[in-house]
Structure 1
C-alpha cells in the first residue's frame, strides 16, 4: 500500500459497512464505494490511484465476509 494506505483502508471500511445492507447489486455497491472513497480522499487532499482504492474495497469486503 501507499503511504496513505491506512487512511484509505479506514475510509473503505466505513463505506463498505454503510453499503453492505443496501439493495444495490454487487457491481453497484462497488461503484458507489469507489466514488464515496474517492470523494472522501479528495476532501482530505489525498490522491491515490484507482488500484489502491479497489484493493481497499476488496480487503474490506473480504473482512466483512469473514464475520
Structure 2
C-alpha cells in the first residue's frame, strides 16, 4: 500500500528478488499518481479504494508504505 518513494526505489525490487514473491497490486490515495506508479513499475493492478483493494486482489502479504499517521486505520 502506498506509492511512496521507498516503495519505488527499494521495496519493489526487493520483493521481486525473491523467487516466490511478486508485486501483484498497488493501493494509493491519488489515482493519477498510483496509476502512473503501477505503470512505471509494471504492477498489474492498482486501486484507490482501500476496501476494494483488499477484497479484490488475491494477496498473501501487504506492505504498508503510507505515512505513519495512516498505518493504524489501514491495518
Q: Same fold (TM over 0.5)?
A: no
TM-score normalised by structure 1 residue count: 0.30
Where relative contact order (Cα < 8 A, 6+ residues apart) is larger, the structure is: 1
Which has the larger share of helix? Answer: 1
